[in-house]
């Protein structure tokens, strides 16, 4: 094998290794999916965990949106939004997670309460 071919092969292996590391890093955290079970839109929806907030925007009736969260410590999930009356309730999702956890949390909410939670979180 020529020197040039060897360099190209080594560079390709390094690039592949870097790509795998980036993909693994991006997959860290807990995937939170929020479904709007209300007949009205939830405006300016935010997902809060310890030390971080994630803006999901407006969530129309029946729609769902997901975000991967990475809290900075022990946490639960809190949802905040503006309802049809202009109020900004804070709904607590009964599910525990910490920094370094993986898994999923699926939440059905309306403008007044958390209707259903499916929580599957675990430490890495």
Q: Per-residue pLDDT tens for 73-93?
A: 999 999 999 988 898 999 999
pLDDT over 70 at 20, yes or no: no
Q: Per-residue pLDDT tens for 28-65?
A: 799 999 999 999 999 999 999 999 999 999 999 999 99
Mean pLDDT, residues 93-107: 95
- Select 29-123's CATH number: 1.10.3720.10, 2.60.40.2890, 3.30.160.20, 3.30.9.10: 2.60.40.2890
Mean pLDDT, residues 9-18: 76
Listed in sequence order, the DSSP H helices in the chain are 3-26
Q: Which two tokens stand for residue 111?
A: 């403008």
Rounded to the nearest 5°, which phi and psi values hold at 122? Answer: -155, 150
Cα–Cα distances in Å, from 56 out to 22, 46, 63, 95, 106? Answer: 24, 6, 12, 19, 15
Please check whether residue 50 is in contact with residue 30, taking contact to mean a CB–CB distance below 8 angstroms.
no
Please check whether residue 33 is in contact with residue 107, taking contact to mean a CB–CB distance below 8 angstroms.
yes
Spans of all domains in the chain: 29-123
Q: Which two tokens stand for residue 122?
A: 């675990």
pLDDT over 80 at 26, yes or no: no
């Amino acid at each position: 094998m020529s020197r040039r071919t060897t360099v190209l092969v080594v560079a390709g292996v390094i690039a592949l290794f870097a790509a795998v590391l980036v993909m693994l890093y991006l997959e860290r955290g807990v995937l939170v999916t929020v479904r709007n079970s209300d007949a009205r839109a939830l405006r300016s929806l935010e997902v809060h965990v310890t030390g971080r907030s994630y803006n999901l925007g407006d969530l129309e009736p029946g729609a769902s949106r997901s975000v991967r969260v990475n809290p900075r410590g022990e946490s639960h999930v809190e949802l905040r939004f503006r309802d049809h009356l202009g109020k900004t309730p804070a709904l607590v999702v009964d599910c525990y997670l910490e920094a370094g956890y993986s898994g999923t949390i699926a939440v059905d909410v309306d403008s007044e309460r958390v209707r259903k939670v499916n929580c599957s979180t675990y430490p890495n």
